[in-house]
């Protein structure tokens, strides 16, 4: 019996019972389609989260003030960090760029437009840490920080809301009634994990602390953000910063940190693990429908063996060996499963890509895994669901089969 004979016999048997074969194939189509779509959904979610975090850079470390426990109460707003802390941290060998930062809300006026937005006081290094590119004009430099210049760099959304001219560089806006010169407009960056990055005003931190807030502690800041060299170890630098800050803040052994260090790499790894589990969960749910589909094949094959008992008897009477009967029934179940898997794969990929690209307008990553998965499923499900019926068929006694009514 050649491979051609096996395929022909299988095809004739499957096509001989079109409706039943179609319904059986449908089970596998739905199963494989569900798995393929779930893999795509999982990967899309994972990619989306990874993209958002990687826009911040994995070599970014953020230190926030506060979070020390006093009598069991978390006091997150205490401004325990200082610009001097940032200057000391900058001396660590692995630190590439650093900025202290203080945020606040600002009421901005230009002409007759009034807009409330996020205001951030930083160092010029903020551009390097956040990968900020300028659309027009420039970011302020360290001199502006030293003299607490009333310079402002604005986001494209803020510029639009204030109805600024096309090139707003040199225009005067009023923030909390203090005039500021716009020296640059940032390029649009879209949303990040921490909200819109395009509607904000960045000014020198000294200007914010001394001129706008008139703070009694002009040195204190709510946050320090830094970027370390690519080859540096995040964990080592985090430890060094922790030790340094504890010394500087004179914390005793047993005292809790009065700052929080957030390592983007660690967050990303955690998110990766979480989304990985999410993906596995989705695939597991989809796999259940695949399992149901394969039970459908086994059921059909078992019914088929009973229905074709006489046929099996005839085949054995004219010389079919047990092995040949097993191969024939297995190839039927594998062929059904293969046809179902291929349709399921095409439909699944088509739906995932179609819905993703044209309806959700999201770039769904195309993965080779569903293809490998579908082919493996075809073989494994086909073999697994066919093996019991095939052995049952092969072990039939020829004379009992011929007498079967």
Partner 1 sequence: MNIPIIALKKINKIFPLEIGGEQQVLFNITFTVNAGEFIAIMGPSGSGKSTCMNIIGALDSASNGTYELYGKDITTMTPDELATIRNEYIGFVFQNFNLLPKRNILDNVMLPLMYRGISVQDRIRRSREMLKLVGLEHFETYLPTQLSGGMKQRVAIARALSGNPKLILADEPTGSLDSKMGNEILSFFKKLNKDLGITIIMITHEFEIAQYARRVIHIYDGRITFDGPIPKNETVLLKSEQEHKK
What token pair was written down for 81? 């960090």
The neighbouring-strand residues paired with 85 are none
Contact yes or no for 130/180 (Cβ under 8 A): no
Which C-beta is closer to partner 1: that of 279 or that of 315?
315
- Cβ at position 365, least distance to partner 1 in Å: 46
Report whether 321 contacts 395 (CB < 8 A).
Answer: no
Specify the residue for token string 């600002």.
Answer: 106
Of 27 and 313, nearer to partner 1 (C-beta) is 313
Nearer residue to partner 1 within complex by CB, 122 or 309: 309
CA distance 125 to 100: 9
Q: For partner 1, which is the closer residue by CB, 237 or 320?
A: 320
The nearest distance, CB 22 to partner 1, in angstroms, is: 17
Q: Are 226 and 129 in contact (CB under 8 A)?
A: yes
Least gap, CB of 8 to partner 1 (angstroms): 9
Residue 16 or 76 with smaller CB distance to partner 1: 16
197, 155 Cβ separation under 8 angstroms: yes
Structure tokens of 119?
């205001």
Is residue 187 within 8 A of residue 139, CB to CB? The reply is no
Closest separation in Å from C-beta 389 to partner 1? 18
User: Which helix (DSSP H) or strand (DSSP E) does residue 293 occupy?
Assistant: helix 264-307
At its nearest, how many Å lie between partner 1 and the CB of residue 340? Answer: 22
The set of residues, in sequence order, having a beta carbon less than 8 Å from that of 228 and lying 6+ positions away, is 59, 61, 94, 95, 96, 234, 237
Smallest distance from the beta carbon of 335 to partner 1, in angstroms? 16
**Closest approach of Cβ 390 to partner 1, in Å?**
15
Minimum separation from the CB atom of position 300 to partner 1 (A): 16
Give the whole-angstrom CA distance, residue 6 versus residue 109: 81
Nearest to 24 by CA among 301, 312, 378, 283: 301
Between CA 183 and CA 149 the distance in angstroms is 11
Separation between Cα atoms, residue 335 and residue 362, nearest integer Å: 35
**Taking a C-beta distance cutoff of 8 angstroms, is the pair 129, 180 a contact?**
no
The contact set with partner 1 (CB under 8 A) reads 1-2, 4-5, 12-13, 16, 310-311, 313-324, 397-399, 402
CB of 9 or CB of 199, closer to partner 1: 9
Query: Which of residues 223 and 312 has its CB atom nearest to partner 1 in the complex?
Result: 312
Residue 84: phi and psi, rounded to 5, are: -65, -40
Nearest to 342 by CA among 292, 376, 296: 376
d(CA 153, CA 319): 88
Q: How far is the CB of 270 from partner 1 (least distance, A)?
A: 60
| Closer residue to partner 1 (CB): 73 or 318 | 318
- The residue (of 313 and 340) whose beta carbon lies closer to partner 1 is 313
Q: Under DSSP, is residue 230 helix (H, G, I), strand (E, B) or coil?
A: coil
């Amino acid at each position: 019996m050649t491979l051609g004979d096996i395929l022909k016999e299988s095809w004739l048997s499957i096509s001989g019972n079109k409706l039943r074969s179609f319904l059986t194939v449908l089970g596998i189509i739905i199963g494989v389609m569900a798995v393929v779509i779930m893999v795509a959904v999982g990967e899309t979610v994972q990619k989306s989260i990874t993209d958002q975090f990687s826009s911040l850079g994995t070599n970014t470390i953020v230190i926030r003030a506060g979070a020390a426990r006093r009598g069991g109460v978390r006091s997150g707003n205490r401004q325990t960090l200082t610009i001097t802390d940032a200057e000391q941290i900058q001396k660590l060998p692995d630190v590439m760029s650093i900025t202290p930062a203080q945020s606040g809300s600002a009421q901005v006026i230009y002409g007759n437009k009034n807009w409330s937005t996020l205001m951030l006081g930083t160092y010029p290094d903020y551009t390097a840490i956040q990968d900020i590119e300028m659309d027009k004009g420039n970011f302020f430099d360290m001199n502006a920080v030293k003299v607490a210049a009333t310079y402002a760099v604005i986001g494209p959304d803020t510029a639009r809301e204030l109805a600024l001219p096309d090139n707003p560089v040199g225009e005067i806006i009023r923030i909390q009634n203090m005039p500021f010169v716009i020296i640059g407009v940032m390029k649009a960056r879209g949303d990040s994990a921490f909200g819109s990055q395009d509607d904000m005003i960045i000014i020198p931190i000294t200007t914010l602390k001394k001129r706008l807030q008139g703070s009694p502690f002009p040195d204190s800041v709510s946050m320090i953000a830094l970027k370390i060299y690519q080859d540096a170890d995040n964990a080592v630098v985090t430890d060094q910063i922790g030790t340094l800050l504890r010394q500087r803040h004179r914390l005793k052994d047993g005292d809790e940190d009065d700052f929080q260090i957030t390592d983007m790499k660690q967050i990303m790894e955690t998110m990766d693990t979480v989304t990985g589990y999410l993906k596995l969960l989705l695939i597991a749910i989809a796999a259940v429908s695949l399992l149901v589909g394969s039970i459908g094949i086994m059921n059909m094959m078992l019914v088929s063996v009973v229905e074709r008992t006489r046929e099996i008897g005839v085949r054995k009477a004219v010389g079919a060996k047990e092995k040949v009967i097993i191969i024939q029934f297995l190839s039927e179940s594998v062929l059904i499963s293969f046809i179902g898997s291929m349709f399921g794969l095409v439909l699944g990929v088509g739906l995932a890509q179609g819905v993703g690209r044209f309806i959700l307008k999201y770039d769904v990553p195309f993965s080779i895994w569903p293809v490998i998965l579908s082919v493996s499923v075809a073989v494994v499900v086909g073999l697994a669901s066919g093996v019991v019926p095939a052995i049952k068929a092969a072990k039939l006694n020829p004379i009992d089969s011929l007498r079967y009514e």
